[in-house]
Amino acid sequence: MKVPFPLLEVEELRVSFFTPDLVVPAVEGVTFSIARGQTLALVGESGSGKSVTAYSILRLIQPPGRMTGGRILLRSARVGDIDIAKLEDDSDRLFEVRGGLISMIFQEPMTALSPVHTIGSQIAEAILLHRPIGKTVARELTLEMLDKVGIAPATRCYEQYPHELSGGMRQRVVIAMALVCRPELLIADEPTTALDVTIQAQILGLIKTLQREIGCSVLLITHDFGVVAQMADEVAVMQRGKIVERGEVRAVLKNPQHAYTRALLDALSSRRHPA
């Protein structure tokens, strides 16, 4: 799938886990690209390798896991082309990529939040890490961002700790933190899986709105074809470490070519329509 103006091109990505007695291949030659300003959904059942793929893009795979091959080309408008796969572990470039050019949000918002710091200080800190500005400006940007993600009053939330908020509100905070530096790519790993449908709808709406405003691309990881249909431009279906089908969302959902995609969609529709 070659897209016209790619922001990210992942080619032949391979990741394995080297446990004492066996090697577990988790991602086996995955290739996809994401166009500027567009959303690619990576969909598949649990264990298919979606999160490992996402973590690889930010070079967050920890031992015993290791990337064993592939290219992760970020065609940044700000700093030019970077092969993330080739960056040194502690390099400034990798630091700039993480949280500056690419941000990530997780299913469990506490993955990204510290329980012992106020929400405001954590978002302000994220800005100060990546932008040469003073504390007062960081505070203003933080309040503005909290307001944008629909937390009112922002001044109150600034002083609160994560445990004082509901799961849905925490996910809003995490979105604020991820987007405050205006990344070129947002990776969202099952951001609404743990939430009720009404909260999910609001969070998905928020991601859509802010994506349009910032102009970033989104890699949306989900196991729900409903979320794919409503959010994405393109979709890649993952099964056991491989992408088995990919294409434009409408084409894939209305006319799936691969047996696995059809099976997943059938399981979903058997739920919806009496046999």
Partner 1 sequence: MNEPGAIPAAAPLLSVRGLCKHFPVLSRGFRRPSSEWVKAVDNVNFDIAQGETLGLVGESGCGKTTTARCALRAIDPTAGEVFFRLPDGRVVDLARLSAGELKPVRRHVQMIFQDPVSSLNPRMTVRDIVGEPLVIHGLARGDELETRVAEVLARVGLKPEHRTRYPHAFSGGQRQRIGIARAIIMRPSLIVCDEATSALDVSVQAQVLDLLKELQREFRLTYLFVAHNLDVVRNFCDRVAVMRKGRIVELAPTPQIFAAPQHAYTRILLSAVPSPDPDVKMNFNVGEELAKLDAAE
Per CB under 8 A, 239 contacts partner 1: no
Tokens of 220: 């949306």
What is the 3 state secondary structure string of 142-193? HHHHHHHCCCCCHHHHHHCCHHHCCHHHHHHHHHHHHHCCCCCEEEEECCCC
> Which residues between 60 and 79 bind ligand ADP (CB under 6 A)?
65
Give the tokens for residue 126.
């994220």
Query: Which of 48, 56, 103, 122: binder of ligand ADP (CB under 6 A)?
Result: 48
Q: If binding is defined by CB under 6 A, does position 13 make contact with ligand ADP?
A: no
Stretch that binds partner 1, among 30-38, 64-72, 111-119, 250-258 (CB under 8 A): 250-258
How many Cβ atoms sit within 10 Å of the Cβ of residue 90?
A: 7
The residues in 43-72 that bind Mg ion, with binding defined as CB under 5 A, are 51
Residue 190 backbone dihedrals phi, psi, to 5 degrees: 50, 55
We find the least distance from the C-beta atom of residue 205 to partner 1, in angstroms, to be: 3
Angstrom distance (rounded) from CA 173 to CA 170: 5
Closest-CA residue to 253 (of 271, 272, 273, 234) = 234
* Cα distance between residue 149 and residue 98, in whole Å: 21
Stretch that binds ligand ADP, among 41-49, 85-93, 138-146, 161-169 (CB under 6 A): 41-49
Note whether 258 binds partner 1 by CB under 8 A.
no
> Minimal distance in Å, beta carbon 51 to Mg ion?
3
Among 3, 9, 44, 249, binds ligand ADP (CB under 6 A): 44
Least Cα distance to 185 among 97, 85, 70 occurs for 97
Between 48 and 217, name the residue whose CB sits nearer to ligand ADP: 48
- Residue ranges binding partner 1 (CB under 8 A): 45-46, 150, 196-202, 204-205, 208, 223-231, 249-250, 253-254, 263-265, 267-275
- Residue ranges binding Mg ion (CB under 5 A): 51
- Residue ranges binding ligand ADP (CB under 6 A): 17, 24, 26, 44, 46-52, 65
